[in-house]
Amino acid sequence: MLPPKEELKKWKEAGKEAARLLSYARKIVKSGMPLLELIEKIEEKAKHRFAFPTNLSVDSIAAHYSPCYKDRNVAKGLLKIDLGINIDGFISDTACSVDLTEEKKHEELIKASEKALKEAIKIIKPGIKLCEIGKTIEDTIRSFGFLPIKNLTGHEIRRWKLHGSLKIPNYDDGSNFKLEEGMIIAVEPFATYGEGLVVNDEPSCIYRQLTFNYPIRDKKARKLLEFIEKNYKGLPFSSRWLVNCFGNSILVPLSLLEKSQILYRYPLLVEKTKAAVSQTEHTVLVTKNGCVILTKES
């Protein structure tokens, strides 16, 4: 069944805000723009209501690149902008890809992920099998001559939980699980010129709390953990946010919490053959006879 009226209002508000923010990011980004400048403008516009740090992944990096406090990289090549809004635990997640090359050499790859998302959304309804969604995505991407990323998926979204247990595949994985009315899912096709697999690369600047109510002897680490619990409530966050609040000395207790396995540090996800990757994503609500895209401006 659908969420209660007041909850649904917040889901929709989070979705529309994310859509407006993504549209804004697309308008201001340009080749050579420092990624740190881009993300700071996005964050200022969003008034810090993020569900997770905005991902600004370039070329073969498929996900988890978010600028650190001293980042010197610039927007170039095939840029993925992946962002989400959190309103009282009601979360949205959306993404697009932008071709910043002079010759626009990635346009077809972007079209492949965009078309795959559109075709998947067309068939989403109660009773649809996950494997059918995955097959639609894969068939559409292959029709352009590319491959989907098989070990990246969409996901169910629950209140205060960005990634629920349900995964939305980007290929026919044989899953017979059926969607139900009222489910909120993020569908995010990834397309590539390469092999269609991502591997873990170097650590990113994105963290998430794994353990709660864990005793910490170090006073600074304990205070930092209290701040993280209060402000992020289990959602991903950026080390840059902490540096902006406390200065770069905070990186020492942050490292201690990571080594204690209280925090998880996400690795960059890179296409196995270093080929470029495109991404397109919407958050949708499964309704009685189909679905509604929440991450649309109107």
The one catalytic residue in 17, 43, 59, 93 is: 93
Active site residue 155: yes
Residue 12, pLDDT > 90, answer: yes
The one catalytic residue in 43, 99, 114, 281 is: 281
Region 73-97: mean pLDDT is 98
Per-residue pLDDT of 231-243, as tens digits, reads 999 999 999 999 9
The one catalytic residue in 138, 155, 271, 282 is: 155
Q: What is the pLDDT of residue 1?
A: 86
| CA distances (Å), origin 77, targets 141, 220, 276, 280 | 20, 41, 9, 16
Alpha carbons within 13 angstroms on the beta-carbon side of residue 188 total 29
Distance CA 51, CA 161 (A): 9
215 pLDDT band, cuts 50/70/90, is: confident
Per-residue pLDDT of 96-131, as tens digits, reads 999 999 999 999 999 999 999 999 999 999 999 999
Helix 251-259 to helix 219-232 angle (10° resolution) is 80
Longest distance between any two alpha carbons in the chain, whole Å: 57
Active site residue 93: yes
- The C-alpha torsion from 202 through 191 and 122 to 286, rounded to 10°, is -10
Domain 5-200+269-293 has CATH 3.90.230.10: yes
The one catalytic residue in 64, 106, 163, 282 is: 163
Active site residue 106: no
Q: What is the pLDDT of residue 236?
A: 98
The three-class DSSP label of residue 76 is coil
Residue 214, pLDDT > 80, answer: no
Q: What is the pLDDT of residue 47?
A: 82
Active site residue 188: yes
Q: Which CATH number fits domain 201-268: 3.90.550.10, 1.10.3720.10, 1.10.10.10, 3.40.50.300?
A: 1.10.10.10
Other CB atoms within 10 Å distance of the CB of residue 253: 20
Other CB atoms within 10 Å distance of the CB of residue 196: 25
Active site residue 37: no
Written as six digits, the tokens of 52 are 């997770």
The one catalytic residue in 82, 114, 138, 271 is: 82
Residue type, 26: R
Ranges of each domain in the chain: 5-200+269-293, 201-268
> Chain-wide mean pLDDT for the chain?
96
**284 or 215: which carries more pLDDT confidence?**
284
Residue 28, pLDDT > 90, answer: yes
The one catalytic residue in 43, 114, 138, 188 is: 188
Percent above pLDDT 70 for the chain: 100
Residue 289, pLDDT > 90, answer: yes
Per-residue pLDDT of 252-267, as tens digits, reads 999 999 999 999 999 9
